Structure 1
Amino acid sequence: MKFLKDTSIAEISSILYLIFPIAGIFFNEVYGPKWLYIISVIVFSLSYLILVIVNNRLNTLMFYILFIIHYFIICYFVFSVHPMLSLFFFYSAFAIPFTFKNNVKKMATNLFILTMIICLTITYLVHNDYFVAMTIYYVVILLIVFDNLKKVKDREYKKEIEEKNRYINTLITEQERHRIGQDLHDTLGHVFASLSLKSELAYKIIDSDTENAKAELLAINKLSRESLNKVREIIDDIRLPSFIEEIESICKILKDADIQFTFENKELAQLLSPTKHPF
């Protein structure tokens, strides 16, 4: 039962709503043939169970067929039994934003709104006493749907920004690594070549010209110290991005994502962050 493991508790708990149309077989007065209502409940229950449990494993065509059956029978319930049975829309209010695949969300939302209009029209014509109450319910459900869609969109934006931020940090790290490598190569390469020549010269003249050999050894010592200082300068030049630079980078990313961002007290922020590693 792997598909049950992949189904959330909230999705499974929504199956409990099936109690209401099933109970209607025994307790509600049905407008029209009873056998038609029973068949509709069976078909609706099966389609609803498939949508709840395995919706992400359905191909697009099968999903649309089941979804249309689901909404068509909700309209039938509103007409033949009671408008309150249309509160199955609450399932759609959460399933469309959070559960359904991205490639079906737009069509599912359009079908959802169209079915809601049809149900409201049926309520006005057949169950006029419930029209105002159902209108309020539907407005609340619509607000939930659009709020949930906005939450999903915000999450996608946040994820996209985090990915871009990681990519930018990777580029910065690579660029810094390349610069350090180039600086070390330029500095140490020249130094080692000079050390090699001077040490070789000192070795050759150490017996015949002791004074010049000592001078070369002193030059080697001096060159070694200067090289050490240059390496320290290169290491000290490895910078942490300042707080202001990080904010400017985030601003660019948010601007690319069409998100407005305002940063205040920039002057105070400049005092908060060091610009170098504490070596």
Structure 2
Amino acid sequence: MKKFFRLHPMYYINLIFVYFPIYGAMSLAIPFWTLYLTIGFVGCYLYLLYGRNKRWLNLAWFLALGYIILMSIFDGGMFWFIWYMTILLVYRFDSEGSSFKLVSYTIALVTVIGYGIHVTNDISSLLLLVFLFFSNFLMLYFGRKESQKERQKIAIMEKNRSINLLLAENERNRIGQDLHDTLGHVFALMTVKAELAQTLLETDNLQQAQKEIKELQQISKQSMQEVRTIVQSLKEHNVAEELVILDNMLQISGVCLLVSQGELANHLAQSTQGKLTMILRELATNLIKHSQAKTCQLNFSIENKQFILDYQDDGRGFSAIDDTSLHSIKDRLVTIQGTLSFVQLAQPTHLRISIPLEEK
């Protein structure tokens, strides 16, 4: 039952329209044997909703199209049953491109509409057929396009999730390595010093024991300072470290990152570099989520005591800008007296960030 209810109710509401061919067969307005074909069509339709075997799905699809063509010949009012197949193509088989289903659907639609135009002499029926033809194709085109956007959105979300996991894993590894390299040998040395001081105290060598304890205190203070340095480094990356992270992140997303003169960022104070790393991260995130770019360039330069970052990508860019465009980046730049300007909105997208130089 869960399998039955997981699909949108509209799939089942559509089945109410099979009343017409059933009534036609029961009243003998069309041959009675078409009733069995209608029952078979319903079965094929339900299998197309739930089936998984590709071969049987293709067979059910072929039989359903054949039923629609045949019923359009026996009863011209049944040509609108092609809507069933349009809905299936848009919502059920939206991931299939130039496939058997899409090609056969097009042939069936042209056949049904063409036959209707050939046999009708009524202008209103002719207009209805033309409307049916274009409305089906428009629904198919825009529906599949919307489904494609939704799939791309989901793919981007999955890619972003993978990137975040990778970044978190890299950060954990870096923290672990820093702690191991910095504190591992310190604790080992402190243990040796403490044991030596205890031994000296037991042998009444107080002068040497005091010396070892003083050294132990000095090591403890130095270790505390190193821990503070590690904690501070976790809060703020420098630009060089951030560029390495961004390169890995963009590689996963299929974007080539080109960096020119990145070492010039060393002229910025550490606090300013911390702000710039957050700006770079936001630019990269926006690129992955929205731009559909394949190449990104970061060009660093210094002009007239201004640190300049020129950002370019070959994505779709901006159609228009206003005061809210990239407002979070602008807000970060305000704290370091920086500015953001749009040199070119698209082809390529070119942004320029200017930051006054100051001593570290």
TM bucket, shorter chain = 0.7 to 0.9
**Structure 1 gap ranges (5+):** 274-279
Superposed, 1:179-190 pairs within 5 Å as 179-190=174-185
2:234 is paired with a residue whose SS is coil
Contact conserved, 2:21 with 2:35, CA < 8 A, in 1?
A: yes
Instruction: Give the whole-Å Cα distance in 2 for the aligned partners of 1:183 and 1:271.
Output: 32
Partners of 1:187 and 1:230 within 8 A in 2: yes
Shift of 1:244: 4.1
CA distance in 1, matches of 2:213, 2:130: 95
C-alpha RMSD of the superposition: 3.2
Label 1:238 to 1:107 Cα distance change in 2 as closer, same or farther (>3 A): same
**Higher normalized contact order (CA 8 Å, seq sep 6+, divided by chain length):** 1
| SS of equivalent residue, structure 1 residue 255 | coil
The match for 2:162 is 167
Q: Normalising to structure 1: TM-score of the pair?
A: 0.79
SS at match of 2:331: coil
CA shift for structure 1 position 101: 8.1
- Structure 2 gaps of 5+ residues are 237-276, 295-313, 334-360
Greater strand share, structure number = 2
- Relative to 1, partners in 2 of residues 1:11 and 1:204: Cα closer, same or farther, differing over 3 Å? same
Asked if 1:269 is matched to 2:329, the reply is yes
Change (3 A) 1:247 1:48: farther
Q: 1:266 to 1:70 in 2, by over 3 A?
A: closer
Q: Find the aligned partners of 2:25 and 2:4 in 1 and give their Cα distance.
A: 28
CA drift of 1:24 comes to: 2.9
Q: Secondary structure at the match of 1:238?
A: helix
Residue 215 (structure 2) pairs with residue 219 (structure 1):
yes
TM-score by length of 2: 0.63
Deviates more, 1:52-61 or 1:163-172: 52-61
Matched, 1:113 2:173: no
Q: Report 1:49-60 matches (<5 A).
A: 49-52=43-46, 55-57=49-51, 59-60=53-54
Sequence identity (%): 21
| Equivalent in the alignment of 1:149 | 144
Aligned residues, how many?
264
Q: CA 1:261–1:177 in structure 2 vs 1: closer, same or farther (change >3 Å)?
A: farther
Alpha-carbon shift at residue 126 of structure 1 (Å) = 0.2
Could you say which residue in structure 2 is the equivalent of 1:230?
A: 226
Deviation at 1:208, TM superposition (A): 5.3
Q: Is the 8 A contact 2:279 2:332 kept in 1?
A: yes
- The answer on whether the counterparts of 2:72 and 2:78 sit within 8 Å (CA) in structure 1 is yes
Distance (whole Å) between structure 2 residues aligned to residue 58 and residue 162 of structure 1: 26
Between the aligned partners of 2:281 and 2:114, the Cα distance in structure 1 is: 57
CA shift for structure 1 position 200: 3.7
Instruction: Tell me how far apart the structure 2 counterparts of residues 89 and 260 of structure 1 sit (CA, whole Å).
Output: 39
